[in-house]
Structure 1
Amino acid sequence: MTRSSQTVKEAEAQYEELKNNHLESYKKASIICPESDLEALRSCEGSTPEQLSAQLSRLNQRIQRESERYAESIDDLKMLYQKKERKILRRRQTYKSYRDKLNACQKAQELRWNKFQRNATLLKRQLTWRLLGNKGISGHVKVSYEDETLSMEVKMPQDASNNNVRDTRGLSGGERSYSTLCFALALHEMTEAPFRAMDEFDVFMDAVSRKISLDALVDFSLRQGSQWIFITPHDISMVKQGERIRRQQMAAPRS
């Protein structure tokens, strides 16, 4: 073995011994003063021993004063602090969980509100008097969800002034009945029900309007596929019976 090799081995042995001594000294020092306490004293770096001694005296005096104010020891206060800290952490986690749920609910509510707005707009469009065209009448319904009002405009074919009637009192009895019937059918078309009934729908109508109304009701009911019951005191002989149409006429009252 050469001299240089022996020197290297001795240096390695000394390094290992110093390393072990450093670890042992570190463990002993940690028992006296934990490393966390040293990190709290980083602001004292560069201070002289006299300054550190004065600061230590001030800290001891403060500890003494605080000890006189509270019956608990420092260890008890540390445990209480850690307990409160864990409680605060749990509360923060609970708050975060509730906040996430609240955000999800608000997002769902916003989506449903947007869907409601779209549906409201579509319902306004659907609520139109399509059947008025059978008599050459044009009209539509204006719905205000904000004011909770419903208004209508009707234009009769014989009106040369091109003015729209905004009040049903401006229509004749038959025209008002037929307009009301068309409005009711528009509502029926927007809803679903297995059974529907209409009583005296042709009041104040003349024979021509009554036939148009009956034809419109029969076509509409057959197209809807639900069961309808129409009650009228007038003649219904113009309605043809079929597989899905039945007529029932009651006997005339006795005098």
Structure 2
Amino acid sequence: MEQLSDETEQLKEEQVKAEAECSKLDQTLKILEKKLEDHQATVQAMKDDLSLREEETQDCEAKAKEICPVRQQVDQSARSIDAEITHLRQKISTEESSHGDKEQVIREYAEAHSNYKSKSSQLRDLRKFIDRLDHIMIDRQDRYKSMRRSLSVRCKLYFNNFMMQLNCCGSMMFDHINETLSISVKPPGQENNNVNDMRSLSGGERSFSTVCFILALWEITESPFRCLDEFDVYMVCTLAYVMILLRTFDMPNISILHIKYFMCLISSFVFFKDMHNRSISMNMLVALSERQHQRQFIFITPQPTR
């Protein structure tokens, strides 16, 4: 009996130990289950964070593809890239503080680009207009030179034609480069000699040549008003010359027969030729004024026009 009692006591002690160990293991199990739950929650949170980061990565990749469709191979470390990004952000912040934020810079750029396109279009139009003006000016210069040659030829022909009224030959030489005009006259009986110095001509011949030159200019110009003042100053009428001679010889009471006699005596003088020049000049001027009735002619002279 004692042996059974001892064994029973021993078994009870072992039972107590086993129960204590089971209780300890239960506590350990609960702790481990709690840790397992915590770890599972951590894993789930990490999975959620991973999913979120994957979405962010996809968004970043999509944005990066918009900038550069081809994926770039990067040899730098993440830390180096982060440092570069930080530096760029600081630089962007500095530029924004100096020139404004991104939206303001974009607006200013859009406005400047629009102004540039507008000015470029205006510049192209102006260049086309200038090119057209250059072609027009070249054409006008060609037409002007052609018209100038034509007017020069016409003026020469008219001048020579008017000079032939007195059996003279006249020629004109236009130098458009040096802007000079040379006139030569061949008086009657001197067809082989050109007179380039008008001072060698008589007063009437010079006046007649001048009248012919003016008439030639009038024929090629379109001015509505034509005016001559004392153009016949060297073309005094016959009676005036005779009266001057009579007063010189102190013969105021001379008869008509004596006047005719004096006229015969002085008929060889050159001023009678000048008087003839005046008559021809006046006839030419009057004929021209009657022919060009659409223009106004003004002749200022102390002598009669007929």
Considering Cα pairs closer than 8 Å and 6+ residues apart, tell me whether 1 or 2 has the greater RCO: 2
**1:148 partner amino acid:** E
Provide the C-alpha distance between the structure 2 equivalents of 1:78 and 1:56, rounded to a whole number of angstroms.
27
Number of residues of Structure 1 aligned to a counterpart in Structure 2: 206
**1:99 partner amino acid:** R
Provide the C-alpha distance between the structure 1 equivalents of 2:285 and 2:124, rounded to a whole number of angstroms.
59
Q: Find the partner of 1:175 among 188, 193, 205.
A: 205
Query: TM-score if structure 1 supplies the norm length?
Result: 0.63
Map 1:149-160 → 2, pairs under 5 A: 149-159=180-190
For residues 156-194 of structure 1, give each alpha carbon's deviation from its aligned partner in whole angstroms, at most 9, with x where no partner exists.
23125x232212112122211110110111122223344
Change (3 A) 1:67 1:39: closer
CA contact (8 A) 2:226 2:296 kept: yes
Q: What residue is the counterpart of 1:192 in the other structure?
A: 222
Change (3 A) 1:81 1:232: closer
For residues 3-53 of structure 1, give each alpha carbon's deviation from its aligned partner in whole angstroms, at most 9, with x where no partner exists.
xxxxxxxxxxxxxxxxxxxxxxxxx99975667x536425x55x5465797
Q: What residue is the counterpart of 2:46 in the other structure?
A: none
Provide the C-alpha distance between the structure 2 equivalents of 1:68 and 1:223, rounded to a whole number of angstroms.
91
Q: What residue is the counterpart of 1:228 in the other structure?
A: 297
1:144 and 2:153 matched: no
Provide the C-alpha distance between the structure 1 equivalents of 2:79 and 2:126, rounded to a whole number of angstroms.
50
For residues 124-157 of structure 1, give each alpha carbon's deviation from its aligned partner in whole angstroms, at most 9, with x where no partner exists.
2232213001122222223334433322122223
Of 81-90 and 71-80, deviating more is 71-80
Q: What residue is the counterpart of 1:38 in the other structure?
A: 65
Q: CA RMSD in A?
A: 3.5
1:111 and 2:179 matched: no
Q: Which has the higher helix share?
A: 2
Change (3 A) 1:204 1:134: same
The SS at the match of 2:231 is coil
CA contact (8 A) 2:167 2:187 kept: yes
Q: How far did residue 220 of structure 1 move?
A: 1.7
The SS at the match of 2:189 is coil
Provide the C-alpha distance between the structure 2 equivalents of 1:59 and 1:203, rounded to a whole number of angstroms.
102
Provide the C-alpha distance between the structure 2 equivalents of 1:174 and 1:166, rounded to a whole number of angstroms.
16
Whose Rg is larger? Answer: 2
The SS at the match of 2:173 is strand
1:219 and 2:287 matched: yes
Provide the C-alpha distance between the structure 2 equivalents of 1:59 and 1:94, rounded to a whole number of angstroms.
44
Change (3 A) 1:51 1:180: same
**1:149 partner amino acid:** T
Q: How far did residue 229 of structure 1 move?
A: 4.0
CA contact (8 A) 2:204 2:275 kept: no
Over the matched positions of the two proteins, sequence identity in percent amounts to 30
Change (3 A) 1:61 1:82: farther
Provide the C-alpha distance between the structure 2 equivalents of 1:93 and 1:52, rounded to a whole number of angstroms.
49
Change (3 A) 1:79 1:188: closer
Provide the C-alpha distance between the structure 2 equivalents of 1:48 and 1:188, rounded to a whole number of angstroms.
90
Provide the C-alpha distance between the structure 2 equivalents of 1:92 and 1:218, rounded to a whole number of angstroms.
64
The SS at the match of 1:159 is coil
Provide the C-alpha distance between the structure 1 equivalents of 2:149 and 2:59, rounded to a whole number of angstroms.
76
For residues 83-132 of structure 1, give each alpha carbon's deviation from its aligned partner in whole angstroms, at most 9, with x where no partner exists.
33223222222322333333333333333333332332222223221300
Q: What residue is the counterpart of 2:94 in the other structure?
A: 69
